Chains A and B, each alone.
Chain A
C-alpha cells in the first residue's frame, strides 16, 4: 500500500511540474491563471493521498481549506482579468 501511494504521489508531482511549465511558458496571463487553478486542485488530491500513509486526518482539513482558498483566488483572478472589482 505504501509503495503504491508513493508511486501515485510521484505521478501527481509530475502533473504539478507540468502545471509549473505552463505557468512559466504561458504566452498570456489567462494561461498562467488556468495553470494556477489546476495546480491547486492537484495538490488537494496530493494532500488526500498523504492520509493513506500517516493514518491521520488533519491533511484532509488542509485539503478542504486549500480547495476553498484556491477557489476564491481563482475567482478574484478571473474578475481581475475581466477588468472589474471583486464585488461587481
Chain B
C-alpha cells in the first residue's frame, strides 16, 4: 500500500521536474525561465522526497523518513529564496525582459 502511494507521488514529482526543465529550455528570457523552472522543480522535488518518506514509514524505517521530511523542508524554504535573490541580481545586472514588461516595480522605485 505505501509502495503504491510512493510510486504515485514520485511519478508526479518526476513529471513536474520534466515540465520545469522543458520550460527552462523553451521560454524566451531569464525571468520567465526562472519562474517556470523554480516553481515546477521545487514542487517536483518536494513530491519525490514526500514519496521517499512515505515509503520509509511504510517499511518501518523511521529515521530515513524523518530525514526525507527535513530535506523537504530545506528545499521548500531555500529554493524560492535563492530564486528571489537571483531575479534581483539579474535585474541589477541589467538583463532586459523580452517585450515590454507589464509590471516593473524596480524601475518605479528608481524613479522615486
Given A30-B95, A34-B34, A75-B82, A67 contacting B89 (CB threshold 8 A): no
Chain B binding surface, main DSSP class: helix
Chain A binding surface, main DSSP class: helix
Interface size class of B (residues with CB under 8 A): 35 or more
Cα-based distance from A51 to B52 in the complex (angstroms): 8
Given A37-B86, A52-B52, A28 contacting B17 (CB threshold 8 A): no
- Apart from A33-B86, A81-B93, what are 16 other A-B pairs with CB-CB below 8 Å? A1-B3, A14-B18, A15-B20, A38-B37, A41-B45, A48-B48, A48-B71, A51-B64, A60-B64, A60-B68, A74-B85, A78-B82, A78-B88, A79-B85, A82-B93, A83-B92
Cα-based distance from A57 to B82 in the complex (angstroms): 27
Chain A residues numbered 49-88 whose CB sits less than 8 Å from any CB in chain B: 49, 51-52, 55, 57, 60-61, 63-64, 67-68, 70-71, 74-75, 77-83
Interface size on A, residues (CB 8 A): 47
B13-33: contact bitstring with A at CB < 8 Å (1 yes, 0 no)?
A: 110011011101100001001
